[in-house]
Amino acid sequence: MTTTPTPATDDAPSPPAPAPAPASARGRGAWATLRPLVLRLHFYAGVLVAPFLLVAALTGLLYAASFQAERILYADELTVPVGDRELPLSEQVEAARAAHPDGEIAAVRPSPEPGATTRVLLSGVPGVDPGHTLAVFVDPYTARVRGALEQYGSTGALPLRTWIDEFHRDLHLGEPGRLYSEFAASWLWVVACGGLVLWFSRRRARRGLRGTTGRRRTLGLHAGVGAWAALGFVFLSATGLTWSAYAGAHIGDLRTALGQETPTVSATAGEHAGHGTAGGTGGDTAHGVGLDRVLTAARAEGLDNPVELVPPADASSGYVVRQIQRSWPEKQDAVAVDPATGQVTDVLRFEDYPILAKLTRWGIDLHTGTLFGLVNQIALMLLALALILLIVWGYRLWWQRGRGSAFGRPVSRGAWQHVPPQLLVPLLALIAVLGYFLPLLGIPLAVFLAVDVVLGEIAHRRGRRTYGPAPR
């Protein structure tokens, strides 16, 4: 985010009345009339949205670091000494059930690599959040239970990462708390793009920091870092909105209308029914041919590790086996297996996903730090750190516009009056469309404009109405 203040010429007192645009202004480029609007929006959006962005950046920084912290903190549950051979999966599940008989088996994740434990996921366990499962960790070589931890989500987040993830998403306030993160994501791209446009318009890339001091140096740091990080901020904003409450619903509706939904393998036993609704969780893993034969059938279809086995939801459903690798190259193939015969009844390949479904999958995994592993996580931490620094520098710039003891005055209002109708009308139409799809952008923006107009009218009635100078 780049909350760039007005240039040095804006520090002069604003004229007491609106200055009419000279006739020559009609002959200049559109940017000369739009820049004051961009500057005002960038300034106010930065000032008002920055606290929300700061929280998102701090919690995002913690989340990106939580993957490696999780490996260290839960090493006893996640890893074991490599043995000579792995025991049948059914024996490992029996050991987990003997240690934790409560609840139902929601899924089983066999050991994905030598030295890694098998996870048996139980739902409906007393004391466990209904939206989470209890992961029982089993040594695949000895069937010894190594421990049990609450798990959340398809990436298998354990308590530390789950707590940070929920803090980042909704501040542990539930559905109402999700509005904070959607608000931040809705405005991040606006502030980033506005700052980038302002930076390019003043060719700040050609200005060095050497020898500069005070506000000019702060401005150089703020603008330079913001320009380099802007593309990353736009990406985080766009991908964060895909699973937000309101904007995410609009995105989902659009994908449905375009036929770009994420397909699921049909779990109807005994039928090649196409890609319908996937089988649910629960059930008895000893039903029918059993887990070992189901896993063998999935392996024969090319589903190598890591995989997850979901037992039949009911008597008319089959097993679902799906790959769960979110790192590059992604493994997202899935098959359904008839529990009576052990035959594969449906196959879904990731390569057959619609293009928007693939892009959504890659975007979410890149946003959450799983697509490229440690490199991805370091990049996210650097972006979060850059956003934190930009917010601090932005507020410092505002302070430095003052007299050393108070924040400087805001950017003058009235810039919209100098925008020609042929630019203003399409711009308002674009804002209306964006406001519909991004309500936490559109509603606050409408409120801000309404308050700004009211304050301007009050100042006018008191004879103190001021406007920024016409663009020159």
pLDDT-based confidence at residue 378 (cuts at 50, 70, 90): very high
Amino acid in the structure at residue 304: D
More confident residue, 216 or 227: 227
Q: Which two tokens stand for residue 154?
A: 């398809």
Same domain, 48 and 105: no
Count other Cβ atoms within 10 Å, centred on residue 93. 25
Single residue among 352, 384, 401 that ends a domain in this structure: 352
pLDDT in tens, 289-307: 999 999 999 999 999 999 9
Query: What integer pLDDT is reported at residue 115 of this predicted model?
Result: 97
pLDDT in tens, 180-189: 999 999 999 9
Does residue 32 belong to any structural domain of this protein? yes
Does residue 341 belong to any structural domain of this protein? yes
Question: Per-residue b/e over 35-70, b at no fewer than 16 CB within 10 Å?
Answer: bbbbbbbbbbbbbebbebbbbbbbbbbbbbbbbeeb
CA distances from 235 to 4, 121, 221, 244 (A): 21, 33, 22, 15
What is the SS3 assignment for 348?
A: strand
For the residues 193-222, what does the mean pLDDT come to?
A: 76
More confident residue, 460 or 66: 66
Domain range for 240: 8-64+171-252+375-461
pLDDT in tens, 425-449: 888 898 889 999 999 999 998 888 7
Does residue 230 belong to any structural domain of this protein? yes
Same domain, 51 and 132: no
pLDDT in tens, 347-376: 999 999 999 999 999 999 999 999 999 999
Amino acid in the structure at residue 49: V
Same domain, 393 and 451: yes
Same domain, 379 and 453: yes
Same domain, 183 and 248: yes
**What average pLDDT does the chain have?**
85
Entry pTM: 0.84
Same domain, 205 and 343: no
Amino acid in the structure at residue 340: A
Residues comprising the chain, all counted: 472
Does residue 280 belong to any structural domain of this protein? no
Query: What integer pLDDT is reported at residue 403 of this predicted model?
Result: 57
Same domain, 84 and 59: no
Does residue 2 belong to any structural domain of this protein? no
Going by their DSSP bridges, the two strands 118-123 and 104-109 should be labelled as antiparallel
127, pLDDT greater than 70: yes
CA distances from 3 to 343, 406, 409 (A): 60, 17, 14
Single residue among 97, 130, 157 that ends a domain in this structure: 157
CA distances from 457 to 15, 17, 205, 414, 450 (A): 16, 13, 39, 11, 11
Same domain, 382 and 453: yes
Q: Which residues contact 283 (CB under 8 A, 6 or more apart)?
A: 104, 105, 311, 312, 313, 314, 317
Does residue 278 belong to any structural domain of this protein? no
- 15 contacts 420 by C-beta, under 8 angstroms: no
Query: What integer pLDDT is reported at residue 359 of this predicted model?
Result: 95
Cα(6)–Cα(59) distance, integer angstroms:
31
Does residue 363 belong to any structural domain of this protein? no
Same domain, 186 and 109: no
Whole-number percent of the chain with pLDDT over 70: 81
Cα(164)–Cα(65) distance, integer angstroms:
10
461, pLDDT greater than 90: no
Same domain, 129 and 200: no
Domain count, the chain: 3
Query: What integer pLDDT is reported at residue 283 of this predicted model?
Result: 42
Same domain, 177 and 214: yes
Same domain, 235 and 267: no
What dihedral do alpha carbons 96, 99, 104, 106 form, nearest 10°? -30
pLDDT-based confidence at residue 138 (cuts at 50, 70, 90): very high
For the residues 225-239, what does the mean pLDDT come to?
A: 96
253, pLDDT greater than 70: yes
Single residue among 93, 128, 157 that ends a domain in this structure: 157
CATH code of the domain containing 118: 3.10.450
Query: What integer pLDDT is reported at residue 3 of this predicted model?
Result: 45
The DSSP line for 55-74 is: HHHHHHHHHHHHHHHHHHHT
28, pLDDT greater than 70: no
Q: Which residue has the tokens 């009911």?
A: 314
Query: What integer pLDDT is reported at residue 36 of this predicted model?
Result: 79
408, pLDDT greater than 80: no
